[in-house]
Structure 1
């Protein structure tokens, strides 16, 4: 019997402790990858009160990692419930040696990709412990080498591309881009904006973990939102999925002659954080604006120019 071939993660999270343990043990014993994905999602749903649920993109990445690890464990005779103390490190080594299918410069998976896979499998083992199926923590001491290239270098913020691309966007697409590039919203937050959220020049944003913040918008962003009518009966300004929105913006980038510059929505959010930091020189204010729980996270969103402190050290 599969773990939850027909059950939603919500239903799984509402099972009694004994029933949940039986389901989890069965899925792990039979290497039921889809069942273990659902168990992981159920755990994230149950932990959402602590902000652990994650974005749809994070949940999709965790699901991919769980499927990959379960397949590897089965092929290598690794017990999911009683893994060996070195199995976590063995899986990390496997990821580091895996070909990237031409996407990585070195021909192997990037360090950030390895870290993402390991994060997903760690979530799986948190879910198994939550379900009472095992106390194993095979990745507790597994070393994941840090990426030597900072994320802000690998995926820098957009610059002049924003203004160039806006001229090739219809009003609704332009509003979405401005919410990310001027308002600093995550794309999921932007796609969830409703007409009633915009009042008095401030936008109410529902972020990760159910956190709510009020974001001031630029003159152009305010004008873009004011000109939009709801796209759906619930007052939503956008009815696009992430893939539909990305397709439209990628096409606008190509039409503007910036096709190779498309680096996703996060580069627009970094554009906002970088511009605000240059205006304020204050990471704390930028962190509050972007909705980060830690200033350390914000530092990864800001491109600080080389020679930024040249004037300050001149008189040393």
Structure 2
């Protein structure tokens, strides 16, 4: 077992604070290891680019909370901004669309329809290049501002009609206390060392009648039995979430949570995705036909993988009778949660 540096470790009732769940405070059990050299090798291989060894980040363990089932990194330490700048230079890009953005737009339109407000104010934390802000720009009566800590991404996304600033939830909290009708954080919470603190800051930005909407991956994802995503762990993701830990998070910050899931992905789509990830890097920039040829070559060399993978996909965990999705949208409100 690793002997952690006593200079930053303290103990609570005999348990190192690094090993206590930041959401519910329960003890945790070690489940996996993320040595720095292996993380570097995995990520550099995905992009075909070197130089990540020059970026400062730690080896880490992944622990599982014995109370709410949150997976948390030990130590919970975010990498430098240089880590994300390296990813950007290597070709990592934020998505241009997400299913949860469409749901958010529907919620925004429904919640504020008929209200006599000149503008509905949205603050987007971790806005990236501003794809979500661009989607909001098409809505009448919506004013949106984005914040992101990566200056390279901010400079790439600052189109004339978008307002994207360098900063995070604490920055936005200082500027827009209790002003926002909606605060959004798309795939941000799993990256931060203090998810509770980030959402408490988001709550401070929020008008009492507003909503916080955020999305996170649900782990383990449907392909992780055969392809361990190096990004779904430290230093990129410091937490891995389950429905139980998301509900515990809402309780911790004193808000009511509604979990929203996408439609179940068909078996053949999950099967193709998992086999494709086994066959090639998801970041490989190639024509679709060449990727298809690579996939077919992989399957022809390993024909047993198809029925084996199909059986695994059929046996994946379920939520309310449906295969557990790879992502969840969480809607937080200030409704009374005493009951």
Q: Specify the TM-score bucket, using the shorter chain as the normaliser.
A: under 0.3
| TM-score normalised by length of structure 1 | 0.24
Q: Per residue, is there more helix in 1 or in 2?
A: 1
Give 1 or 2: higher strand fraction. Answer: 2
User: Higher Cα Rg: structure 1 or 2?
Assistant: 1
Please, what TM-score do these two structures have when normalized by structure 2? 0.23
